[in-house]
């Protein structure tokens, strides 16, 4: 396991816990999708993993290191792409010269390729770029660091429609077997074809951690004209043509996971769904 | 490639590979794109492509050469057709029958139409 949290607690103020008794084991070579409502603690969790926040109690181990100690040997293998950021007043070449040396595995060719894929001009001053373009520079940088642990907080926020596609292509081509990516997102439709495993953060802890294949083994996602057509529906939403249904997968169907529906279903029918996965 | 919302992505990708084989875009004994190449192309997680390739390998449609990657099996075309025929009989035909039943269409009524369809296909 590349990331292991045990009984991790964290609060800013004692009366208001942010993370309570979080237990989590994440493997390399996988992309995890971190889902949760606003204020559920997604960003706080990511910050714990890269040493920007320290646990109040409990254990946090990433690649065998304790992030809170912030050892250089640890920091050069982890990268956090924050949701909001501020870039210094310089051009991309200067930015690289300043920041790339912190990452010994930094891949300059890959960085160039990603910039080309995102159609970012290299000579531009970073400040002259739009917010979306700045984000693309940071995404390119993040992937080029070849960090073993890559944390991305809402990476597709602010990207235009064609760039979301580029983003998926770039990520799909980058994942290494010894690398673990965690992507926190509300834009599940942008990313659902990339995610191996779903983490849902709710009530200050990890409510659910399941691979996409296990979710679709237990549940079936389908569209039906009337609710009677579907066996054992757990959750449904009205749609233009009938209903979208999350049901117990009794026929061993191979349906496609609708991550948005799944998330809503977990929020509304917590016990029913969790009990399916506990079997 | 556009994925539909109903079927698991790994099966849709397997279907895409079967299309390539059936259309003979990927010839027998030809190399299949690497996992990474197809992942970038289709914008999906490489682990999902791996799952599709493992599934296709179980079906005997592709095989691995150690250290070289995946190749199309010699008799892939025959296997794709057999697999798809089975899928048609198991999955699509019952739905078709259900519609026939609901609409009161008898088999005799279809027979003449199917013969006509076949001659048209043969000419085309």
Kindly report, residue by residue over A143-159, the tens digit of the pLDDT: 999 999 999 999 999 89
Share of chain A above pLDDT 90, in %: 79
Model's pTM, two decimal places? 0.88
Q: Do A173 and B36 touch (CB under 8 A)?
A: yes
Question: Which of B3, B7, B45 lies closest to A172 in CB terms?
Answer: B45
Q: Which tokens belong to B39?
A: 């992942």
Q: How far apart are CA A64 and CA A14, in angstroms?
A: 29
pLDDT for A226 beyond 80: no
Q: Number of A:B CB contacts under 8 A?
A: 60
- Tell me the mean pLDDT in the region A217-238: 83
Write down the pLDDT at residue A124.
82
The helix/strand/coil state of B13 is helix
* Distance of alpha carbon B119 from alpha carbon A80, whole angstroms: 63
- CA A1 to chain centroid, in Å, comes to 17
State the pLDDT at residue B56: 96
Q: Give tens-digit pLDDT for B87-116.
A: 899 988 998 998 999 999 998 889 989 999
pLDDT at A113: 94
Cα(A230)–Cα(A222) distance, integer angstroms: 9
Left (φ > 0), alpha (ψ -120 to 50) or beta: where does A70 sit?
A: left
CA B35 to mean position of chain CA atoms: 18
CB-based contact B45 A31, cutoff 8 Å: yes
Chain B residues in contact with A194 (beta carbon < 8 A):
43-45
Residues of B in contact with A168 (CB under 8 A): 43-44
Q: How far does A95 lie from chain B, in Å, by closest CA?
A: 28
Q: What fold, for A3-203?
A: Rossmann fold (3.40.50)
Whether residue A256 and residue B45 make contact (CB cut-off 8 A), yes or no, is no
Q: Are A234 and A247 in contact (CB under 8 A)?
A: yes
Average pLDDT, chain A: 92
Q: Using CB atoms, pick whichever of A30, A193, A223 lies closest to residue B44.
A: A193
For CATH 3.40.50.300, list the domain ranges present in chain A: 3-203
Q: Report the DSSP beta bridge partners of residue A239.
A: A242
Portion of chain B with pLDDT greater than 70, in percent: 98
DSSP assignment letter at A101: G
User: A165: nearest CA in chain B?
Assistant: B43
Say yes or no for a CB contact (<8 Å) between B5 and A29. Answer: no
Average pLDDT, chain B: 92
Q: What tokens does A85 get?
A: 């950021």
Task: Please determine, for the modelled complex, whether the ipTM score is greater than 0.85.
Answer: no
In chain B, the domains with their CATH numbers are 9-76 (1.10.10.10), 90-123 (no CATH)
A27 pLDDT more than 80: yes
Answer whether A232's CB lies under 8 Å from A67's CB.
no
**Contacts A169 to B, Cβ<8 Å:** 40-41, 43
Average pLDDT over residues A182-205: 92
């Amino acid at each position: 396991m590349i990331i292991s949290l045990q009984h991790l607690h964290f609060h800013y103020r004692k009366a208001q816990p942010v993370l309570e008794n979080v237990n989590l084991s994440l493997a390399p070579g996988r992309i995890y999708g971190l889902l949760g409502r606003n204020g559920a603690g997604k960003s706080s969790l990511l910050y714990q993993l890269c040493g920007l926040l320290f646990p109040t109690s409990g254990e946090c181990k990433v690649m065998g290191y304790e992030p809170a100690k912030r050892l250089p040997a640890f920091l050069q293998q982890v990268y956090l792409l924050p949701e909001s950021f501020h870039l210094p007043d310089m051009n991309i070449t200067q930015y690289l010269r300043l920041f790339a040396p912190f990452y010994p595995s930094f891949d300059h060719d890959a960085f160039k390729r990603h910039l080309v894929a995102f159609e970012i001009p290299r000579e531009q001053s970073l400040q002259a770029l739009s917010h979306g373009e700045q984000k693309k520079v940071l995404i390119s940088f993040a992937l080029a660091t070849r960090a073993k642990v890559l944390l991305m907080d809402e990476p597709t926020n602010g990207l235009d429609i064609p760039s979301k596609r580029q983003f998926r292509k770039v990520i799909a081509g980058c994942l290494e077997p010894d690398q673990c990516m965690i992507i926190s997102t509300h834009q599940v439709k942008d990313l659902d074809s990339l995610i191996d495993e779903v983490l849902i953060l709710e009530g200050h802890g990890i409510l659910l951690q399941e691979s996409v294949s296990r979710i679709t083994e237990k549940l079936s996602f389908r569209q039906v004209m009337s609710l009677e057509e579907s066996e054992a529906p757990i959750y449904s939403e009205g749609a233009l043509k009938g209903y979208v249904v999350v049901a117990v997968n009794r026929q061993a169907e191979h349906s496609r996971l609708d991550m948005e529906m799944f998330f809503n279903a977990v929020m509304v029918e917590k016990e029913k769904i969790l009990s399916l996965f506990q079997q | 490639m556009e994925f539909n919302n109903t079927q698991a992505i790994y099966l849709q990708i397997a279907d895409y590979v079967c299309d390539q084989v059936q259309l003979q875009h990927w010839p027998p004994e030809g190399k299949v794109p690497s996992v990474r190449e197809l992942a970038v192309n289709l914008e999906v997680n490489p682990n999902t492509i791996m799952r599709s390739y493992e599934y296709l390998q179980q079906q005997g449609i592709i095989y691995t050469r150690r250290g070289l990657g995946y190749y199309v099996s010699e008799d892939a075309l025959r296997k794709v057709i057999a697999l798809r025929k089975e899928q048609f009989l198991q999955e699509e035909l019952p739905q078709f029958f259900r519609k026939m039943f609901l609409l009161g269409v008898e088999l005799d009524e279809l027979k003449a139409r199917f013969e006509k369809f076949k001659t048209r296909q043969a000419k085309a």
